[in-house]
Amino acid sequence: MSSGSKPLHSPSMAALGVGTASRPESAAERRARYFNSANAFNIHLPEVPAGIFSEPVRMALQADTETGYVECDQSQALATSYPATTPFMLARYARVNAGDTLEADFAASGSIWYVMSGTLQIADLAGEADQRLFAGDVLYLPAGKHHLANAGDVACVAWLVTDEPMLAHHGLQAAPMASPCHEAGAVIFRAHDIADQIETIYRTTPDAGTSGMAVVFSAQAHESSRNLMTNLTLSLNTLPAHCHQSAHRHNSAALTLVVAGHGCYSRVDGQTCPWTIGATLVTPAGAAHSHHNDGDARAAFLIVQDGGLYYQARTMGFEFLAADAD
């Protein structure tokens, strides 16, 4: 073979592996790594498990459960060193027994709460008076330390979602005073106002087809973007009796709390997930999914998505799919 001819079996670019500095003279040079256009994007990460969490809410509702948190943790499946339900979100249940206090101090840019039962009193609201929340109320808490008290006679149970995994992934800590939402303070959505908004939607558009009838929560600081937090979006979706939401997908992951509905289920990537009240449904990013109400009453489900990221990047990618795609 002449010196100018090609070898019979050229190694592929992908097989070259990682390259390092040939003659490093400093620690900074020794830290350098080189890939190529064939292997740089060949990254294999664990799949995000789809499904529904029923056990954590059962634990939170048990009469003998102590004050504290019960996480919907999939960190083992996701191969993360920190608790996570999806790569960027963590859902958990909070229980505060009568007369107890629970601290809320997360390494997150904020937290979204839904009171499932009982009464919750929130202190430390940047100079504002203490606020009481009741079943059906929704709360946004900015980053920082807060104290949740239960001055009632029965246990309070709440569902909450944070973006802790997102900050943990980037090795960041929350900076409350730099957060746009912190400037607006806590935000409370009362159950009766939420119900009024839903009824207004039904009166205005009594037939929305199969897209669902939802109210989207926002705050004064994020009114222009329609988000509740910079990273996270929140909506309460409903389905009339004997109705379903068509199969669809989007680039954000979703954590869904079953608020009301009997004879209901979701389909996520072909998997049937029967609903139980208070359970948490996990819909991975990009997964085809649909929601079905075979019961005789309206269904309601609260949805948190890491949609703020994708709206800002202009990559939400929402689309309805063929009827058999779920």
* Dihedral sign of CA atoms 113, 118, 119, 123 in order: negative
Indicate the pairing of strand 156-162 with strand 187-189. Answer: unpaired
What would the pLDDT profile of 149-177 be if each residue is shown by its tens digit? 998 999 999 999 999 999 999 998 876 54
Phi, psi of 247 (to 5 degrees): -60, 135
- 24-38, 86-100, 114-128, 239-253 — which is least confidently predicted? 114-128
CA distance 60 to 120: 15
pLDDT value of position 324: 58
Give yes or no for residue 4 having a pLDDT over 70. no
- What tokens were used for 273? 């997930």
pLDDT value of position 8: 56
Are 94 and 162 spatial neighbours (Cβ–Cβ below 8 Å)?
no
Split at pLDDT 50, 70, 90, the class of 14 is: confident
**Section 46-53 average pLDDT:** 96
pLDDT value of position 180: 44
Q: Which residues pair with 128 in a beta bridge?
A: 125
**Section 200-224 average pLDDT:** 83
> 25: exposed, middle or buried (C-beta count within 10 Å: 0-12, 13-18, 19+)?
exposed
Q: What is the share, in percent, of the chain residues with pLDDT greater than 90? A: 79
| CATH number for the domain formed by residue range(s) 51-320 | 2.60.120.10
- Compute the half-sphere exposure of residue 36: CA atoms within 13 Å on the CB side of its CA: 10
pLDDT value of position 1: 44
Grouping H, G, I as helix, E, B as strand and the rest as coil, residue 310 is helix
Listed by start position, the domains of the chain span 51-320
The torsion region of residue 151 among left (phi > 0), alpha (psi -120 to 50) and beta comes to alpha
What would the pLDDT profile of 80-120 be if each residue is shown by its tens digit? 999 999 999 999 999 999 999 999 999 999 999 999 999 99
Split at pLDDT 50, 70, 90, the class of 182 is: very low
Q: Which of 110, 111, 152, 161 is nearest to 132 (CA)?
A: 152
CA distance 56 to 147: 22
Give yes or no for residue 289 having a pLDDT over 50. yes
CA distance 114 to 20: 50
Residue with tokens 């609201």: 125
**What distances in angstroms separate CA 27 from CA 4, 171, 232, 289, one per listed residue?**
39, 22, 39, 49
Are 114 and 257 spatial neighbours (Cβ–Cβ below 8 Å)?
yes
CA distance 264 to 281: 12
Side chain identity at residue 313, one-letter code:
A
Phi, psi of 286 (to 5 degrees): 80, -5
Indicate the pairing of strand 131-133 with strand 213-217. Answer: unpaired
Split at pLDDT 50, 70, 90, the class of 284 is: very high
Give yes or no for residue 308 having a pLDDT over 70. yes
**Section 57-72 average pLDDT:** 98
Kind plus residue range of the DSSP H or E element containing 74:
none
Give yes or no for residue 206 having a pLDDT over 60. yes
